[in-house]
Chains A and B, each alone.
Chain A
Amino acid sequence: MLKNRIIPCLDVKNGRVVKGINFVDLKDAGDPVEQAQIYSDGGADEICFLDITASNENRDIIYDVVKNTSKKCFVPLTVGGGVRGVEDINKLLNCGADKVSINTAAVQNAEVVVESSKKFGSQCIVVAIDAKKNEDKWEVFTHGGRNNTGIDAIEFAKKMEDSGAGELLVTSMDRDGTQVGFDIDLTSKISAKVNIPLIASGGVGNLDHLVDGIILGNASAVLAASIFHYGKYSVKEAKEYLDSKGIPVRI
């Protein structure tokens, strides 16, 4: 039976982890390679890096981070943040990323998704959708949540599936950082609309939220940052909890 996945996400800025696990025995709390390895050893089903480096001159650092991580972590590694097109994707994959997540570039030009999924295969193309509720619909935001495009998120999700995306990473901007749980309405509506797997993100504050994301939100995988970073729960605890609720997980 296929298991639901738990994916810890690490924010990386200038090659350093911004929100990291606060473990006393960590040699270097800011080292993304070491943190990724801890997650992977702890049973993470995949690892996700979100590169939030702002300045252009430091953008290449992420390639070294990916290169070093992929030599130590033998679970799938997804990298996103600032991916503009085929050339960036190619570089990340060559460094050892297994999947690349595209956000702004996919919204600006769906051809990027068409072209890259043809070139590299759908299996490595994740489209990240940042959505915010506006009255009775959700709108797609770009540029790390700064620009509202006004595009309907559910329609956009369908369009990305048709363009060749292998998975969708759906983040509720209303919930992101709030720790009050996923926007279940958003994820379940998108999941019902598409036939590709959906990764739910944004708002996880406790383990019941992960359960809700999978059962009510119909997500194939759940992504979380804070609950793991600050040591509130380990990936192992999360999996055992899901298992106790009858959700299939890899233990």
Chain B
Amino acid sequence: MNVTIVDYNSGNISSVINSFKEVAKDKVNIEVTSDLNKIKSSDKVVLPGQGSFKSCVDALNNINGLVDTLNDFAINNKKPLLGICVGLQMFADIGYEETETKGLGWISGKVSKIDNQNGKYKLPHIGWNQIKILKESKIFKNIENNSHMYFVHSYEFIPNDKNVISATADYSTNIVCSAEKENIFGTQFHPEKSDKIGLQIIDNFINL
């Protein structure tokens, strides 16, 4: 099996690569590339993302044909894709970080700044928070409710259809920390930095 981590200059992806290689061992081949043919022929795709919504969308668009290839992979061919952090946020129709920016539109909704309640909550939301699992998900296999995951973000994904939300975390409001729609999965937290429990999620995705 081939799992491709999309390398599109979206910031630091070393930890994502390390964690997937740790979980995959020799059983699964982990590719790190923006090569469109390799993405097309892979079994699963990971879409990481760091920095701002706009910078990640711009970086995707800078690689000719990448967005179309991802659309084919995830929407037309319905193959499994995992978005991490801004990778998840880009599923939305629109994001408001820096400036209004169009997203991939895979899960209808928007990405806005977390309400810090006039400074009561520090932003970014950095550190370990517990996830409240709202519905059964294949990527939460063997993950207990209220498990700790590592977060670092200031913006949150607000989907229109609340049924896509698979887990939330409590910070100012109930932040969407995991969403999924059929073959598309996304986590706002960083499984690659969430210790053994995070590696379990990666393992679950690889074994989908």
Contacts and interface: CB of A to CB of B under 8 A. Distances in A.
B124 interface: yes
B124 A196 contact: yes
A154 to B, nearest CB: 16
A3 interface: yes
Interface in A1-20: 1-5
Interface of A is mostly: loop
Given A93-B14, A121-B50, A2 B125 contact: yes
Contacts, number: 103
A181 interface: no
B145 interface: no
Interface of B is mostly: mixed
A220 B126 CA distance: 9
Contacts of A119: 51
Interface stretch (A22-30, A70-78, A172-180, A182-190): A70-78
B204 interface: no
Nearest to A40: B195
Contact of A120 (B22, B51, B194): B51
Nearest to B199: A74
A123 B152 contact: yes
B110 interface: no
A166 B52 CA distance: 13
A167 interface: yes
A123 B124 contact: yes
B195 A123 contact: no
Interface of A: 1-5, 40, 45, 70-71, 74-76, 93-98, 119-124, 166-167, 195-197, 220-221, 250
7 contacts: A2-B151, A5-B127, A74-B19, A98-B12, A166-B152, A197-B122, A250-B128
Top-6 shortest CB links A-B: A121-B51, A93-B12, A96-B14, A250-B128, A123-B152, A250-B148
